[in-house]
Amino acid sequence: MEIKNNFSLKSFNTFGIDVKTNQFIEIQSSEELKELLHHFKLLKKDNKFLVLGEGSNILFTNDYDGIILHNKIKGIKIIEETDESVFIQVGGGEKWSDFVDYTVNKGWWGIENLSLIPGTVGAAPVQNIGAYGVEQRESLDYLQAFNMETGVITTFFEDECIFGYRSSIFKTLGKGKWFILNATYRLTKQPNPKLNYGKLQETFHGRDYLTLTPAEISTRIKEIRREKLPDPRHIGNAGSFFKNPIINKFKLEELKHSYQRVPFYIVDENRIKIPAGWLIEQCGWKGKKHGNAGVYPKQALVLINIGNATGSEILNLANLIKKDVYEHFKIDLEPEVTIL
Ligand code: EPU
């Protein structure tokens, strides 16, 4: 286990922000975590640490004054397989999109709509990643996490993770306490396409669903993503910067007076989700630049690093947008990315 001091995080966050951390340590196993806990006496409160996967949902606005633990725990193994389903365990440090490709190539159903999402498997449950009508919680069976305070490994079944929209216990009550070692997903072998998302419905309209394959859906998802979302290898970004706000049905009626065609998704009988990208576009921010930060021209919910932006430049732009959206709509935007 190598400890790197005063280490640049530029290639460890998809915004490409050039900040440093006091210490950077790659973790390959739970044994290494135990050793580390002992070595650093992390039990002492003054040792601040952060678990980092690919840094695809984080904005650093300052150097990190602590220890970054980079999850490199690898491995994909089948735990149980029947004619109907397969339980597959994946190391928290595996790349999420590689894992999805692996399952899609096997012809297994469950996470094909989550193709090409940047980040690691260990980060997927933390914010309960979701796209195109599917969330990872729907296929997660359980995960194992290392308690950074006690060194004990705990199993969390899906219903113990307190999943919500882009949220989990690991982002709320248990924030900063757990290192996710591995996750076990339950995938099915019977066709189970999830085609609620408009563009998927259009593409596969009229097809006999029993003849569809996860690979076809995954290929289409990748096309849709590439049309709308910037590739972090070329343009620094962290996907959606804000969550889609949830409003009540009375607020929606009010909005419809001024904007008859406001897009929305029904959450339940009282609550409605409004695409934050639409709100931001209505305020005139789509494609706008502000210093080295900008709003992606094809999807206003994505903030981008145009040049060598600092984290503060991106945050300033986010704050201007948030203020403007509030002034126009009296709707508060909440960041989806973790801001440090
Ligand atoms: N829209 C606009 N202008 C924009 C962007 C969107 O008017 O610039 C409107 C359009 O009406 C569009 C609607 O918003 O039809 C929805 O847009 P889109 O389908 O792109 O989805 P989204 O609600 O903006 C969410 C997730 C994405 C996920 C997509 C697809 C959040 C915060 N974001 O975006 O997730 O890929 O749905 O399911 O929930 C991410 O989390 O990083 C992410 C990219």
- The pTM (predicted TM-score) of the whole model is 0.95
Residue where one domain finishes, among candidates 203, 228, 253: 228
- From 94, 139, 240, 313, active-site residue: 240
Q: How remote is the CA of residue 278 from the centroid of ligand 1, in Å?
A: 8
Angle at 172 between CA 339 and CA 156, to 5 degrees: 125
| Residue 281 near ligand 1, beta carbon < 6 Å | yes
- The strand ranges marked E within 257-318 are 265-266, 271-273, 289-290, 293-295, 302-305
Residue 46 has a pLDDT of: 64
Q: What are residue 88's DSSP bridge partners?
A: 78, 185
Residues 120 and 207 both lie in one domain = yes
CATH number of the CATH domain containing 324: 3.90.78.10
Residues 286 and 318 both lie in one domain = yes
Residues 266 and 167 both lie in one domain = no
Assess if residue 339 is contained within a domain. Answer: no
Contact 95, 74 (CB under 8 A): no
Contact 303, 295 (CB under 8 A): yes
| Residue 277 near ligand 1, beta carbon < 6 Å | yes
Residue 319 has a pLDDT of: 98
26: Cβ–Cβ under 8 A, 6 or more apart, which residues? 1, 2, 70, 72
CATH number of the CATH domain containing 37: 3.30.43.10
Copy the structure tokens of residue 166: 């882009």
Mean pLDDT per 10-residue section of the chain, whose length is 340 residues: 94 97 96 89 71 96 96 97 97 98 98 97 97 97 95 97 97 94 97 94 92 97 97 96 96 93 92 97 97 97 96 98 97 97
- Of all protein residues, whose CA lies closest to atom 3 belonging to ligand 1? 278
Eight-state DSSP code of residue 219: H
Q: In testing the pocket of ligand 1, which one of 195, 197, 262, 301 has its CB within 8 Å of the most ligand atoms?
A: 301
Residues 94 and 199 both lie in one domain = yes
Contact 75, 98 (CB under 8 A): no
Residue where one domain finishes, among candidates 206, 228, 250: 228
Instruction: Confirm whether 240 is a catalytic residue.
Output: yes
Residues 256 and 303 both lie in one domain = yes
Residues 47 and 118 both lie in one domain = no
Contact 293, 306 (CB under 8 A): yes
Eight-state DSSP code of residue 174: T
Residue 48 has a pLDDT of: 86
Contact 106, 185 (CB under 8 A): no
Instruction: Confirm whether 327 is a catalytic residue.
Output: no
Residues 274 and 313 both lie in one domain = yes
Contact 184, 155 (CB under 8 A): no
Mean pLDDT, the chain, rounded, equals 95
CA atoms within 13 A on the CB side of 219: 9
Residues 130 and 160 both lie in one domain = yes
Residues 21 and 57 both lie in one domain = yes
Assess if residue 177 is contained within a domain. Answer: yes
Residue 238 has a pLDDT of: 97
SS3 content of the chain, % helix, strand, coil (to 5): 30, 30, 45
Residue where one domain finishes, among candidates 71, 97, 112: 71
- From 135, 166, 218, 220, active-site residue: 166
Question: How far apart are alpha carbons 307 and 313 in whole angstroms?
Answer: 11
Q: Which domain holds residue 13?
A: 3-71
Residues 151 and 248 both lie in one domain = no
| Residue 237 near ligand 1, beta carbon < 6 Å | no
Instruction: Confirm whether 166 is a catalytic residue.
Output: yes
Question: How far apart are alpha carbons 222 and 212 in whole angstroms?
Answer: 16
| Residue 135 near ligand 1, beta carbon < 6 Å | no
Residues 95 and 150 both lie in one domain = yes
Assess if residue 335 is contained within a domain. Answer: no
- Of all protein residues, whose CA lies closest to atom 41 belonging to ligand 1? 240
Question: How far apart are alpha carbons 334 and 167 in whole angstroms?
Answer: 12
Residues 209 and 296 both lie in one domain = no
> Number of folded domains in the chain?
3
Residue 40 has a pLDDT of: 76
| Residue 230 near ligand 1, beta carbon < 6 Å | no
| Residue 198 near ligand 1, beta carbon < 6 Å | no
